[in-house]
Amino acid sequence: MKNLPYAWLGVLTIAIAFLFYQNSGSSSTGLGASTADGKRIVFVNSDSLLTNYQFYKDAQKEFENKGYRLQVDLGQKEQSLQAELQAIQQRASAMTQAELQAADMTLKKKGAELQQYSQQKQAELGQEQAKKNEELYNNIRDYISKTNKANKYEFVLGYSKVGGGILFADPSVDVTQKIIEGLNKEYAATKGDKKEDK
C-alpha cells in the first residue's frame, strides 16, 4: 500500500512521456510550446499531475480503504484462530491423545486456509490496482491525444523531480495545469454520468 504513489508515478511518467507525433508542418511555437529543430515540445510535471488529478486521488483513497478493510478482516480471522488455539490449550489436559492430534490437524488446516485466503485477497487487490493503473494511463494518454489535435504538439514529455529521463524542463513549456484542469473536468463528468446510471 505504501508503494502505491511510486507505482502510479512510474506508470504516469511512462504515460506522459509517450510521444504524440502529429503531421504538422508548422514551426510556430504558439501556446508556450518550445521548438527543437522545428518540433513543438511541451512537458507535464508528473508529480503535480498525481497530486492534483482527482481520479488518482479517489483511486488512492479507495485502495487505502480496501487495504485497511483487508487488514481488519485478516486480523479478525487470525484472532479467531488464536482464540481457538487457546481454548484447546486450556482443555488439553482433559483431552485424549487422539483428540489432541485431531485438534492440531484442524488448526493447521485452518491456518493454511487463512494463509491461502490472505494471499488470494492480496492478489485480487493487486490485480485491481493494476487495472486502475491501466485506466489512469489510458485516461491521460487519451486526453492528451484528443486535446493535441488542436495543439499539434509533436512531443509531450513527462517530467518528475524525483527522477525520470528529463533532467531539466523550462517552466515556459509546462502545460501541467491545463492537462490537470482538462482531466479533472472529464473525470467529474464521468463521475456524474455514473451517479445518474445508479
Calpha distance 83→25 (Å, rounded): 74
Contact between residue 173 and residue 42 where contact means Cβ atoms under 8 Å apart: yes
Calpha distance 125→8 (Å, rounded): 15
Calculate mean pLDDT across residues 7-24.
Answer: 42
Q: Is the pLDDT of residue 118 over 50?
A: yes
Q: What's residue 29's pLDDT? A: 34
Residues 101-112 pLDDT 10s: 999 999 999 999
**DSSP states along 70-114:** HHHHHHHHHHHHHHHHHHHHHHGGGS-HHHHHHHHHHHHHHHHHH
- pLDDT bin (cut points 50, 70, 90) of residue 19 is very low
Calculate mean pLDDT across residues 189-198.
Answer: 72
Side chain identity at residue 107, one-letter code? L
Indicate the helix (H) or strand (E) that contains 42. strand 39-45
Calculate mean pLDDT across residues 31-57.
Answer: 79
Q: Is the pLDDT of residue 84 over 80?
A: yes
Q: Is the pLDDT of residue 25 over 50?
A: no
More confident residue, 19 or 140: 140
- pLDDT bin (cut points 50, 70, 90) of residue 159 is confident
Q: Is the pLDDT of residue 33 over 70?
A: no
Q: What's residue 125's pLDDT? A: 95
